[in-house]
Chains A and B, each alone.
Chain A
């Protein structure tokens, strides 16, 4: 058992997994803040088409993933802000690009193992090059997030006022989708196209059950993503069950535990709001609220 740790592939997997978890854990709170889970899934599906296309054209798979998700990010960014319309557009593109991916792989039959690793990840097969690639892409994603983070939060929470204050709301939307595309590219390697949401939403959702302090949400999100990813890799190494089973299992387990036991209640007004309001509430009635 212990001897497994001597193998380079385990080291590579753990390092790449840790990089992925840190990137995903930092990006995820913005995904939940902006309600963009569907866009993440859409980017991942489009990247499947890109990966399959790259296989077909004998190009590096990562290039296909990155190129396709970048194009999709710019496309989604131009869709505007109306939620219903955006969802319809993303949904249609998502389905179509999955179809294209299937077409490429059908045309290039001998690569069905490639299809499997694109869809479900191949973390135990990463080499030193992959680790360095993940490090570079991840560093760019986090660097970009550090630059756009503050105005992005402003634009996500209070778009009208942000617009008035000169924040480029539309541009930020596209820039964030590009950051998401980078995060998806890194994450696909670990967990696969179909499961990126397990690292790009679930950790933040779990963290928000534990705290609503913004800095702590990001910190917990990273820790939860790290725990699920590294725990998943370790379990996979020992059991030979797939990583892509363990990571979502741990991720969901953490979420359910936090939901049941976490201090942040769904019910608003239980945490706060009694101090001044309570005093004021007794001093006046709610008559004639004026509108």
Chain B
């Protein structure tokens, strides 16, 4: 029933030598929320420095998987280890870009504040910052090219500008593992490219592992190592060419699915990957992995 596509693309050559660590190791991981089973028997390892894309329809449990990795959600059974430990809430080695949420334009919060939260927002005590901390925040702002609007109220910035600040917030603590939940949502094509480049850059230059939840694989096609597809309580893991095939998808969905390649983009016909919230999994006519 489960579909672990044989031998994904071998893990990338990390800049810092052989990546012996298995950053994420899932073994029979199963999650049910209430009476609903999201996925079962997830068994895989993600080597350090891998760029893993998680695809699947709405409600397949993509965000829940990230919550498990963040230590915010307990598994129903099985185990997930990060660098050999159970996920810990507040792990400083993990950067997290949460799903986009509009920020009230009247909030008295500056871009710099938002980024600073990623560094020391969890600390108690008076909010006095050392020069070293301020420099790290500036560095993160520079990394995403957000320095010019760092002192503007966040709520007054565009979605693309806010998203870059969120990336800086996730990167400012220097994470070895970056968890991104639909970071391209509500961004136009230009900013989709910018955001993917920034995350891919962190992945390549720092050798950081990236788990990237999305419904559209096309913007990340040039940088992805492997794909984890969650659908209908089943899953498949492997290189793009192995997982996103008519054969694998048809088996996963119990229905004929076609995968078309057109002008360097993938178009999936007959399987819902959650691109549109108003379309249901039963909507066989949807053309997904989009646009």
Do the beta carbons of B121 and A214 come within 8 Å of each other? no
User: A107 contacts the other chain (Cβ, under 8 Å)?
Assistant: no
Determine the chain B residues whose CB is within 8 A of the CB of A153 once the complex forms: 109, 113, 117, 121
Distance in Å from the Cβ of B211 to the closest Cβ of chain A?
A: 13
Whole-angstrom CA separation of A154 from B124 in the bound complex: 11
Distance in Å from the Cβ of A229 to the closest Cβ of chain B?
A: 22
* With A268-B156, A273-B158, A275-B148 as contacts: A164 and B89 at CB distance below 8 Å: yes
Whole-angstrom CA separation of A291 from B159 in the bound complex: 14
Whole-angstrom CA separation of A193 from B183 in the bound complex: 46
Whole-angstrom CA separation of A288 from B289 in the bound complex: 12
Contact digits for A250-291, partner B, Cβ 8 Å, 1 yes 0 no:
000000000000001010110111011100100111111111
Do the beta carbons of A212 and B106 come within 8 Å of each other? yes
> Which of the four size classes fits the interface of chain A?
35 or more
Residue of B nearest to A269 (CB): B156
User: A146 contacts the other chain (Cβ, under 8 Å)?
Assistant: yes
Chain B binding surface SS class:
loop
Do the beta carbons of B106 and A166 come within 8 Å of each other? no
User: A157 contacts the other chain (Cβ, under 8 Å)?
Assistant: yes
Determine the chain B residues whose CB is within 8 A of the CB of A266 once the complex forms: 106
* With A288-B189, A290-B189, A291-B276 as contacts: A164 and B90 at CB distance below 8 Å: yes
Do the beta carbons of A208 and B106 come within 8 Å of each other? yes
User: B184 contacts the other chain (Cβ, under 8 Å)?
Assistant: yes
Determine the chain A residues whose CB is within 8 A of the CB of B148 once the complex forms: 275-276
Do the beta carbons of A154 and B161 come within 8 Å of each other? no
> Which of the four size classes fits the interface of chain B?
35 or more
* With A146-B126, A150-B123, A163-B72 as contacts: A289 and B152 at CB distance below 8 Å: no
Do the beta carbons of A151 and B149 come within 8 Å of each other? no
Q: Interface centre among B103, B107, B192, by most A CB within 10 Å?
A: B107
Determine the chain B residues whose CB is within 8 A of the CB of A268 once the complex forms: 105, 155-156
Using a CB–CB distance below 8 Å, which chain A residues touch chain B? 29, 33, 146-151, 153-154, 157-158, 160-167, 208, 211-214, 217, 264, 266, 268-269, 271-273, 275-277, 280, 283-291
A-B residue pairs in contact (CB < 8 Å), sample of 13: A33-B108, A150-B123, A150-B125, A151-B124, A158-B114, A161-B98, A164-B89, A164-B98, A214-B110, A271-B156, A277-B158, A280-B191, A291-B276
Given A154-B117, A273-B161, list of 10 further CB < 8 A pairs? Answer: A151-B124, A164-B72, A214-B108, A214-B110, A268-B156, A272-B152, A273-B157, A277-B161, A284-B188, A291-B276
Closest 3 CB pairs of A and B: A166-B90, A154-B121, A268-B105
